[in-house]
């Protein structure tokens, strides 16, 4: 049975889009629930400017709590700069997602840097923290709210210096949920033939209801690390129209029904998604399964 690694990114990509502060205890309870549901890879926070994303102001406390409690879980975090990478490392995080947008305008809107500055900052991180595992999150890899569609060739060209500088894992992110399965296939096939040693991951938003088909297209081409958020909570505060991620429990359900192994307990995840929705009433969710359970309970 083929195994698919689910990488839960809700505590970062979901929570960052909620404007009112989610209490630290609630975040911890959700992460506890994820781990007990069998989730082995959790992006727990981002080490960013609290002025840019106030929700992440508790990053250090949250990381310290979780890393100490579950030493066998792969807790990773998003960082936009060296300062964030240093904070992550000091908090016990061994793996970070360094985010750069394929679209220069989105890179400026998101992290206020040119492409050149982002690349230089990656080199600063690699030099300062040689033991930190740095994965590249390529945001707007399929299209951008400001610059339109991005092609396979745009991706391959952009990544060349990153891969030459030692990046071994690339996460292709459809930040605004604009990709289609044919485009996902083209980009993944291009990556596999141009950079066969790169470990590929995929992160697809569900904005246009294509999160599941796009993720499945990637899985069927051999991608075995996929990102999603509990309940489909999400968005990107710096990409207009980017509402809703692909829901982890819906994805896990589909994969297990298809015979893939995922490690997680779908029923427990559904209950947790429901708990989360009750705790975050203003959240934008795209999940389906936790609502079905609601309907059953009403009958
Ligand atoms: N962690 C905490 N604080 C940080 C930080 C980090 N990683 N990086 C910068 N800061 C602080 C600085 O100390 C400074 O604080 P001050 O105003 O009190 O002196 C402030 O943030 C601005 O720093 P500066 O280096 O001038 O950054 P900037 O204003 O050009 O913003 C980023 C650049 C990258 C720090 C900011 O845009 C950011 O954090 N973006 C994150 C975006 C994000 O998470 N998007 C969603 C995920 S894809
Ligand atoms: Zn995202």
pLDDT digits (tens, 9 = 90+) for 63-87: 999 999 999 999 999 999 999 999 9
pLDDT band at residue 238 using 50, 70 and 90 as cut-offs: low
161-194 in b/e burial notation, b at 16+ Cβ within 10 A?
Answer: ebbeeebebbbbbbbbbbbbeebbbbbbeebeeb
Other C-beta atoms closer than 10 Å to the C-beta of 63 total 22
Of the candidate ranges 130-144, 185-199, 260-274, 276-290, the one whose mean pLDDT is the lowest: 276-290
User: pLDDT band at residue 125, thresholds of 50, 70 and 90?
Assistant: very high
Over residues 18-34, mean pLDDT: 97
Instruction: Return the percentage of the chain with pLDDT > 90, whole number.
Output: 90
- CA-nearest residue for atom 32, ligand 1, is 111
* Cα 89 from Cα 129, distance rounded (Å): 8
Give 243's strand partners. Answer: 235
Cβ–Cβ < 8 Å for 119, 81: no
Q: For residue 247, what pLDDT band results from cuts at 50, 70 and 90?
A: very high
pLDDT of residue 37: 98
pLDDT by residue (tens digit) across 133-187? 999 999 999 999 899 999 999 999 999 999 999 999 999 999 999 999 999 999 9
- Which residues have C-beta atoms less than 6 Å from ligand 1? 16, 46-49, 51-53, 78, 80-81, 83-84, 87, 99, 110-112, 139, 236, 238
pLDDT for position 91:
97
Give the pLDDT score at 292. Answer: 83
Read off the pLDDT of each residue in 29-56 and give the average, rounded to a whole number: 97
Res 134: pLDDT? 98
Task: Based on the residue annotation, tell me whether 236 is a catalytic residue of this protein.
Answer: yes
Which domains does the chain carry? 5-298 (3.20.20.70)
pLDDT of 222 strictly over 80: yes
| Cα 100 to middle of ligand 1, angstroms | 14
Contact 45, 79 (CB under 8 A): no
Alpha helix (H) ranges present in 45-151? 59-69, 82-90, 104-111, 115-128
Q: Which ligand is in closest contact with the Cα of 174?
A: 2
Residue 43, classed as helix, strand or coil, is strand
Cβ count near 1 (within 10 Å): 7
Q: What local confidence, expressed as pLDDT, does residue 129 receive?
A: 98
Q: What is the pLDDT of residue 291?
A: 85
Which residue has the CA at smallest separation from atom 3 of ligand 1? 49
Return the HEC string of 153-178.
HHHHHHHHHHHHCCCCEEEEEECCCC
In three-state secondary structure terms, 9 is: coil
**Of 156, 227, 226, 147, nearest to 186 (Cα)?**
156
> So what's the pLDDT on residue 296?
63
Q: How far is the CA of 110 from the centre of ligand 1 (A)?
A: 10
Write down the pLDDT at residue 244.
84
Reply yes or no on whether the pLDDT at 55 is more than 70.
Answer: yes
Determine which residue's CA is closest to atom 29 belonging to ligand 1: 112
Whole-angstrom distance, CA of residue 80 vs CA of residue 75? 17
259 alpha carbon to ligand 1 midpoint, in Å? 43
pLDDT value for 269: 98
φ, ψ for residue 22 (rounded to 5)? Answer: -90, 120
Q: Look at residues 251, 250, 245 and name the one whose alpha carbon lies nearest to residue 233.
A: 245
Is residue 230 within 8 A of residue 34, CB to CB? The reply is yes
Predicted pLDDT at 263: 94
For residue 77, the SS3 value is strand
Is pLDDT above 70 for 1? Answer: yes
pLDDT, average across residues 57-65: 97
Q: Contact 232/216 with Cβ under 8 angstroms?
A: no
Ligand closest to Cα of 173 equals 2
Average pLDDT on 58-62 reads 98
| 107 neighbors 137 (Cβ within 8 angstroms) | no
CA of 79 to the centre of ligand 1 (A): 10
DSSP SS3 for 151: coil
Q: Please state, rounded to an integer, the average pLDDT across all residues of the chain.
A: 95
User: What is the number of the ligand 1 atom nearest to the C-alpha of 139?
Assistant: 48
């Amino acid at each position: 049975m083929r195994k698919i690694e689910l990488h839960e990114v809700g505590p970062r990509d979901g929570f960052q889009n909620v404007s009112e502060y989610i209490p630290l205890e609630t975040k911890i309870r959700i992460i506890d629930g994820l781990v007990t549901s069998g989730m082995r890879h959790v992006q727990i926070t981002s080490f960013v400017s609290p002025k840019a994303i106030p929700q992440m102001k508790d990053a250090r406390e949250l990381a310290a709590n979780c890393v100490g409690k579950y030493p066998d879980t792969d807790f990773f975090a998003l960082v936009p700069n060296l300062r964030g990478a240093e904070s992550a490392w000091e908090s016990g995080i061994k793996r970070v997602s360094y985010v750069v947008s394929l679209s220069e305008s989105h890179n400026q809107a998101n992290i206020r840097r040119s492409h050149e500055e982002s690349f230089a900052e990656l080199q600063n991180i690699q030099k300062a923290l040689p033991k930190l595992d740095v994965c590249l999150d390529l945001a707007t890899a399929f299209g951008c709210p400001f610059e339109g569609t991005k092609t396979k060739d745009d991706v391959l060209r952009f990544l060349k210096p990153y891969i030459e500088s030692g990046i071994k894992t690339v996460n292709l992110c459809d930040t605004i949920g604009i990709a289609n399965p044919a485009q996902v296939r083209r980009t993944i096939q291009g990556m596999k033939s141009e950079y066969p040693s790169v470990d590929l991951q995929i992160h697809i938003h569900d904005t246009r209801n294509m999160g599941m088909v796009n993720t499945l297209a990637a899985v069927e081409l051999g991608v075995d690390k996929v990102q999603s958020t509990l309940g489909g909570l999400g968005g990107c505060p710096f990409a207009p129209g980017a509402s809703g991620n692909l829901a982890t429990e819906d994805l896990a359900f589909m994969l297990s029904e298809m015979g893939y192994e995922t490690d997680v307990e779908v029923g427990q995840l559904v209950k947790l998604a429901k708990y989360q929705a009750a705790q975050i009433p203003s959240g934008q969710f795209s999940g389906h399964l936790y609502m079905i359970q609601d309907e059953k309970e009403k009958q």
